[in-house]
Amino acid sequence: MFVVLSFAAGLALLYYGADYLVKGGANIALKLKIPPLVIGLTLVAFGTSAPELVVSADAALKGLGDVSLGNIVGSNICNIALILGVCAAITPLRVNPKLLKFDIGIMIAAAAVLLGFYAISRGVNRWEAGFFLLAGTAYTVWRFFSARKADTAETEELPDLTCGLLLSAVMVIGGLAALIGGAKLFVNSAIAIAQWCGVSEAVIGLTVVAIGTSLPELATSVVAAIKKEQDIAIGNVVGSNIFNILGILGVAPLIQPIRAQGISYVDMILMLAVSILLYPIMKSGMKISRREGIVLLAIYVAYTIFLIAQ
């Protein structure tokens, strides 16, 4: 019972920690006159990936490579197949052409490079992490300067944040503290549950941990879809997937190289496959239809059944 309560508490801390981190950080950025588009494409997407960062870094420190890498691979699959599938099933999602011009290509390239690194080292070493970190920094800088030139009428809508800088700073600090504490509870209890159920660390990382750390993306994208803010719903997922690889796998392996023998090529290839599949789905009619959303959901359900049945 204690393990289950710890798991639930960790999940809650991850969710609300990410929520306060994003809101506080976005408000500070707005107060400092940072362009709203930059906030939407970087802070919101990257902020909702904060649980993946702290969980993967904590797991890497503990030598739990299967959980650390499985969390990233599973989250990227979850973001596309489950989250966009759910959002499109709620309402067809209109696609911003700008995503197709550059960001989708970056997401696919990042997944392909990760597959290549995995084939070489069965994980991610420090040199490979350094490459991801440099690529992630270059992408963020490019996004910042390109967004400054964008027409403000085309920027994503952000929540109406009216609190002062001091309260915003408290929200950011409190959010980070909740994320760190929640990650420790979540990882420890998830491993304990996996061992109790006889499930491998790789499977628990690819499913339970991945879905748990993707809750901020799920909440953000579903609410955005309901409010007809399709750019946020899709952009949040694409931005988060890019950050998961270039940002998180650019940091966590620098702390401790990741070795993940339990992650299979099926998992890695599926991550790349759904990333590639998203391009023609988005390009056809410049939207993700309900039927295509259901197809994505079916892929995720089939993959989950496959993992459990192994």
Enter the tokens of residue 302: 């089939």
Say if domain 2-309 classifies as CATH 1.20.1420.30: yes
Label residue 225 exposed, middle or buried (CB < 10 Å: 0-12, 13-18, 19+).
buried
Residue 220's Cα: distance from chain center in Å?
A: 11
Instruction: Tell me the three-class secondary structure of the chain, residue by residue.
Output: CHHHHHHHHHHHHHHHHHHHHHHHHHHHHHHCCCCHHHHHHHHHHHHCCHHHHHHHHHHHHCCCHHHHHHHHHHHHHHHHHHHHHHHHHHCCEECCHHHHHHHHHHHHHHHHHHHHHHHHHCEECHHHHHHHHHHHHHHHHHHHHHHHCCCHHHCCCCCCCCCCHHHHHHHHHHHHHHHHHHHHHHHHHHHHHHHHHCCCHHHHHHHHHHHHHCHHHHHHHHHHHHCCCHHHHHHHHHHHHHHHHHHHHHHHHHHCCEECCCCCHHHHHHHHHHHHHHHHHHHHHHEECHHHHHHHHHHHHHHHHHHHHC
- Asked if residues 254 and 120 have their Cβ atoms less than 8 Å apart, the reply is no
**What would you report as the CA-atom Rg of the chain, rounded to the nearest whole angstrom?**
18
pLDDT value of residue 172: 76
Residue 172's Cα: distance from chain center in Å?
A: 19
Distances (CA, A) of 276 to 6, 66, 179, 236, 280: 37, 24, 31, 17, 8
Going residue by residue through the chain, which has 310 residues, state the pLDDT in tens, using 9 for 90 and above: 777 888 888 878 877 876 776 677 667 766 766 654 456 556 666 776 777 777 788 788 777 788 888 889 999 999 999 989 998 988 888 887 877 888 899 999 999 999 999 999 888 999 999 999 999 999 888 877 776 565 444 444 444 555 677 887 788 788 778 877 776 787 678 777 777 777 777 787 788 778 777 777 777 677 667 767 666 678 778 888 998 999 999 988 988 888 888 888 999 999 999 999 999 999 888 889 999 999 999 999 999 889 888 7
| Residue carrying structure tokens 């620098």 | 254
CA 281, 285, 288, 289 dihedral sign is negative
Please report, for the chain, the start and end positions of each structural domain, with discontinuous segments joined by +.
2-309
Q: How many CA atoms lie within 13 A of 6 on its CB side?
A: 15
pLDDT value of residue 32: 67
